[in-house]
Amino acid sequence: MPSERLLIIEDEARIAQFVERALIYEGYRVSVARDGQSGLQSARDNPPDLVILDWMLPGLDGLEVCKRLRAASSVPILMLTAKDDIKDRVQGLDAGADDYLVKPFSVDELLARVRALFRRATPVSKPEVLRFADLTLDTGTHRAYRGERSIDLTAKEYDLLELFMRNPRQVLTRDVIFDRVWSYDFGGESNIIEVYVRYLRQKTEQGDEARLVHTVRGVGYVLREEE
């Protein structure tokens, strides 16, 4: 039985109760906060192993709560949202959310997302310095370098680059990239990977620096040197 402690921050009593019961039934320990302010307080007083955070909260909204939680810890954050708009999701990711669940959702879906987040939150491994061509990535400091040039990455850009650098010269399919970097479904039409690969290229391929992240048309991407 799992014994992880989850914090639910949700103002709608019906949904909070539904989620709480499902998690307790699975053996998780659960706390519930009804607004952002008390949720942050609860997270400070008794740090949870995972936070389920509603986007639409009175007062401090979910996005702001997410930013503040993320500033203080690396606890996995699953956001609940009625907004199914891609811009909102990107905004949430930039705020530090790890995954999304769009309302209405099923118990099974909720539990699957929670399990997936716990699987991803594996114990912190020893910092390593990954190298490919003249690209360097320090997993301890999350700094990247192209030659001597230091590159500032957002959290998701870092995750994407780390995935490439741990699997050099291997074609990574869109599905693999989704699963490893986002772990939720943006739908078939989504261009989130293209958007983030573009961000990554803008940062890692400046001036006359050679292309390293190559597109494999219709399949995905590969980190390799120019042929």
Backbone angles phi, psi at 102, to 5 degrees: -90, 130
Of the two residues 8 and 200, which places its CB atom closer to Ca ion in the complex?
A: 8
> Applying CB under 5 A, which part among 9-17, 41-49, 188-196, 207-215 lies near Ca ion?
9-17
Q: Please, what is the minimum distance in Å from the beta carbon of residue 52 to Ca ion?
A: 12
3-state DSSP assignment of residue 124 = coil
3-state DSSP assignment of residue 3 = coil
Of the two residues 11 and 134, which places its CB atom closer to Ca ion in the complex?
A: 11
Residues near Ca ion (CB under 5 A), total: 4
CA 36 – CA 57 distance, rounded (Å) = 7
Of the two residues 56 and 116, which places its CB atom closer to Ca ion in the complex?
A: 56
Residue 11 as a binder of Ca ion (CB under 5 A): the answer is: yes
Of the two residues 11 and 26, which places its CB atom closer to Ca ion in the complex?
A: 11
Q: Which parts of 51-70 interact with Ca ion (CB under 5 A)?
A: 54, 56
- DSSP state, residue 103: S
Residue nearest to Ca ion (CB): 56
Pairing of strands 77-81, 99-102: parallel
Q: How many residues does the chain have?
A: 227
3-state DSSP assignment of residue 37 = helix
Residue type at 78?
L
Residue in the block written with tokens 């609940």: 80
Q: Please, what is the minimum distance in Å from the beta carbon of residue 33 to Ca ion?
A: 12
Q: Please, what is the minimum distance in Å from the beta carbon of residue 36 to Ca ion?
A: 10
Of the two residues 54 and 99, which places its CB atom closer to Ca ion in the complex?
A: 54
CB 60 within 8 A of CB 88: no
Binding site for Ca ion (CB under 5 A): 11-12, 54, 56
